[in-house]
Amino acid sequence: MIILKDAGYFKLTVPKKYGGEEISLYEMLLVQEQLAKGDGSTALSVGWHLLTFLNVREADTWPEPIFAELCHKAVKEGSLLNIINSERGKGNISRGSLPGTIAKKVPGGYIITGEKAFASLAPILKQFTIIAFIEEENLTAEFLITKNDQVKVIHTWDAMGMRATGSHDIIFHDTFVPEEALLYKHRPKEVNRFLADGRVYSLEIPAVYLGVAGAARDYAIDFAKNTYSYSLENTIAHASHVQQKIGEIEVL
């Protein structure tokens, strides 16, 4: 992550007016594919950060002063951001489930209680957003969370080959957030940023997996070119059935 930070990778989708590169979705998918060839888990996790800024800059749903501050942190400090949506037993909340994470209105803000799962980048995030249910208003809303003693990361993630995404659980113990931490409310019958512009999120995973597949393809070809066969008196890359398999891989 330090290498990516120094290279300015975290500011690629930040608007130019805030010091970012403001690359397009297509450009982002291309660079993510290349990064995934080197490290799939790093690409997958940092991709959520890139998509968050790209999505919000297009959907224009957050208060501008807050978005501007988060942009400046990404550009100047290399601060990462992610939307933590998933809950155990419910899946990704943005797909229609009612969140089990509850936000109760109190003087000056909200008290948030609940648990999120598969929170990529959890160990290094300083701030992130979540979807919570506001009981008093019977609607869901997106809140900006700043880590403190009432926000606890539980190390539950131990997936082979993907440990570096750091997708642990996060528990909120009566976590207070100020009024301005409420980024926007999901009104009934109103298309939110996850169901409209947010569909770009569905392209992030295929781009990463395509990069992983490309790396596997390159490894197989390199193996074939450098493995000698005494029966062929040449490398196995010269075997017709190996060439056929490589061709099938390339087509897929």
Q: Which H helix or E strand runs over 171? A: strand 168-178
- Continuous H helices in 88-235: 201-226
Taking a C-beta distance cutoff of 8 angstroms, is the pair 161, 41 a contact?
A: yes
What pLDDT shows up at residue 2?
A: 86
Q: Tell me the CATH number of domain 82-187, given options 3.90.1170.50, 2.40.110.10, 3.30.70.600, 3.40.50.300.
A: 2.40.110.10
Instruction: For the chain, give every domain's residue range.
Output: 82-187, 204-251
Compute the average pLDDT of residues 19-29.
Answer: 95
Distance CA 51, CA 54 (A): 5
Judge whether residue 85 has pLDDT over 60: yes
The span from the first CA to the last CA of the chain, in angstroms, equals: 31
137 contact partners, CB below 8 Å, separation of at least 6: 185
Average pLDDT, the chain: 91
- pLDDT tens digits, 115-132: 999 999 999 999 999 999
% of the chain with per-residue pLDDT over 70: 92
Q: What residues contact 32, with CB distance under 8 A and at least 6 apart?
A: 43, 47, 50, 204, 207, 208, 211
Q: Is the pLDDT of residue 152 over 70?
A: yes
Residue 191 has pLDDT above 90, yes or no: no
Please determine, for residue 184, whether its predicted confidence score (pLDDT) is greater than 60: yes
